[in-house]
Amino acid sequence: MTDPRIHMTRGCLDFIDRHSSEEAVDHGVEVLGWLLGFFKGGQVYAVEALPCTRYRYQDRFGAQAEPAHEADIANAYPRKIGMVGIYHSHPFHGSEDATFHSHVDDNTLEQRGRGRGNYISLVTDGQHRYSCYVMGRRGRRKVDPSIVTEIPLDVYLQRYSCEVAFHVVRDVPEENSVSLFPTILSAITERVEESFAAATVEKRAVVLPQTGDGNGENTLIVRPRSKGVEVALDIAVQTAIYLPSKETPREIIQCATNEVSDEVSLLLRRAMESLGAYEAGSGELTLNLGTIQMDVSGPLPKKVYRPPERYAVLRRA
Ligand SMILES: [Zn+2]
């Protein structure tokens, strides 16, 4: 009997079938991947499946994803949307219990499912047979997901858009790029939180009293000063949040604050990588941070980072 709490699209299953039959069976290795979707009112919705492409190790009897790969995938979705399960293949095709859940699988599920009701673990034999498990309060149980053709997001999730722009200037006594990062990040995080404290929810948008502050682009300018540097940061974010249930305005605003902070931190992290070994004495440095856009062409909205044409421009002192 199908479990009314576990919903999965036919697309997920077809994808897992293809991935496991092509890669696992043809190359004789275990494959794994993730189920992406959302939790809503004690139910889980698996909308899309995504393969692991960067493995820490991968052989016939086991595989583990690079943690950074997993983090990249998790960060690519707006808050409240993301991993709701994992899948992997077993090599024992054709045998009757090829899709059993091993002790290792139990441990993995327990680690990931902790604190999240109905986190899914799907095991396939690479030949169209699969078993599905979820972790509940009293350990794991085998479930039969209800398979649907489509999970339309506008039916299940409330979308709120949010457009903000910030301009922050700080004098920083430190001169080297490593110590700059935490200072800039905490300055902008503080600014984001300050601004959102005055936000309101209007129809399907989180609105800030004053936007348009900033140059509309994402840049970080570092200027040498007599002592240390001056840092000017401009950030413009156009994003959206997706909430599974009717939330209070305060919760909606909190979610938008966190989403914007996530994006700012992601842009800054990228910039810091290209900042490299900047020394204040070398001149004025402009870093173009690129942008993050919400790609809504797939079954789930996804944040896509677009790098700038040119990362860094240094005007020598
Ligand atoms: Zn297994």
Question: What is the distance in A from the centroid of ligand 1 to the CA of 302?
Answer: 29
Bigger pLDDT: 138 or 30? Answer: 30
Task: Check if the beta carbon of residue 39 is closer than 8 Å to that of residue 118.
Answer: yes
pLDDT band, residue 108 (cuts 50/70/90): confident
Q: How far apart are the C-alpha atoms of 27 and 4, rounded to whole Å?
A: 36
Residues 92 and 110 in one domain: yes
Instruction: State the CB neighbour count (10 A cutoff) for residue 133.
Output: 23
**Residue 69 corresponds to which amino acid?**
H
Total domain count for the chain?
2
Q: What is the pLDDT of residue 199?
A: 94
Q: What is the pLDDT of residue 216?
A: 66
Q: What is the pLDDT of residue 174?
A: 67
Q: What is the pLDDT of residue 280?
A: 62
Tell me: pLDDT of 67 over 90: yes
Average pLDDT on 69-76 reads 93
Residue 20 is classified by DSSP as: I
Tell me: pLDDT of 95 over 80: no
Tell me: pLDDT of 214 over 70: no
Question: What is the distance in A from the centroid of ligand 1 to the CA of 146?
Answer: 22
Domain boundary among 117, 136, 154: 154
Q: What is the pLDDT of residue 15?
A: 96
Average pLDDT on 256-283 reads 81
Question: What is the distance in A from the centroid of ligand 1 to the CA of 72?
Answer: 24
Question: What is the distance in A from the centroid of ligand 1 to the CA of 315?
Answer: 56
Q: Which helix H or strand E contains 171, and what residues bound it?
A: strand 158-172
What residue numbers bound the domain in which 179 lies? Answer: 157-316
Domain boundary among 111, 129, 154: 154
- Mean pLDDT, the chain, integer: 87
Q: What is the pLDDT of residue 315?
A: 83
Residues 161 and 107 in one domain: no
Residues 286 and 139 in one domain: no
Residue list, CB under 5 A from ion ligand 1: 102, 105
Residue 176 is classified by DSSP as: B
Question: What is the distance in A from the centroid of ligand 1 to the CA of 213?
Answer: 52
Is the CA virtual torsion 207, 212, 218, 220 positive or negative? Answer: negative
Domain boundary among 154, 182, 213: 154
Residues 81 and 209 in one domain: no
Strand partners, 36: 48, 83
Tell me: pLDDT of 123 over 80: yes
Q: What is the pLDDT of residue 81?
A: 96
Question: What is the distance in A from the centroid of ligand 1 to the CA of 100?
Answer: 7
Query: At a CB cut-off of 8 Å and minimum separation 6, what does 189 contact?
Result: 261, 264, 265
> Which of 55-69, 115-129, 268-282 holds the top average pLDDT?
55-69
Residues 95 and 227 in one domain: no
Question: What is the distance in A from the centroid of ligand 1 to the CA of 299?
Answer: 28
**Residue 223 corresponds to which amino acid?**
R
Helix 249-275 vs helix 177-196: angle between axes, to the nearest 10 degrees?
160
User: pLDDT tens digit string along 229-258?
Assistant: 888 999 999 999 999 988 899 999 999 999
Residues 112 and 170 in one domain: no
Tell me: pLDDT of 211 over 70: no
> Where on the phi/psi map is residue 115: left (φ > 0), alpha (ψ -120 to 50), or beta?
left
Residues 295 and 258 in one domain: yes
**What CATH number is given to the structural domain containing 115?**
3.40.140.10
Residues 77 and 134 in one domain: yes
Q: What is the pLDDT of residue 173?
A: 79
Residues 39 and 142 in one domain: yes
Average pLDDT on 86-107 reads 80
Question: What is the distance in A from the centroid of ligand 1 to the CA of 280?
Answer: 53
Task: Check if the beta carbon of residue 61 is closer than 8 Å to that of residue 30.
Answer: yes
Q: How far apart are the C-alpha atoms of 93 and 44, rounded to whole Å?
A: 29
Could you give the percent of the chain with pLDDT greater than 90? 47
Tell me: pLDDT of 45 over 90: yes
Q: What is the pLDDT of residue 97?
A: 72
Task: Check if the beta carbon of residue 207 is closer than 8 Å to that of residue 199.
Answer: yes
Question: What is the distance in A from the centroid of ligand 1 to the CA of 114?
Answer: 19
Question: What is the distance in A from the centroid of ligand 1 to the CA of 26?
Answer: 18
Average pLDDT on 203-221 reads 79
Could you give the percent of the chain with pLDDT greater than 70? 91
Residues 46 and 168 in one domain: no
For the entire predicted model, the pTM comes to 0.88
Average pLDDT on 181-194 reads 86
Tell me: pLDDT of 101 over 60: yes
Lowest-confidence region among 32-41, 98-107, 164-173, 174-183: 174-183
Question: What is the distance in A from the centroid of ligand 1 to the CA of 192?
Answer: 44
> Where on the phi/psi map is residue 80: left (φ > 0), alpha (ψ -120 to 50), or beta?
left
Question: What is the distance in A from the centroid of ligand 1 to the CA of 90?
Answer: 6
Residues 173 and 257 in one domain: yes
Average pLDDT on 210-228 reads 76
Q: How far apart are the C-alpha atoms of 312 and 219, rounded to whole Å?
A: 10
Residues 218 and 249 in one domain: yes
Tell me: pLDDT of 212 over 60: no
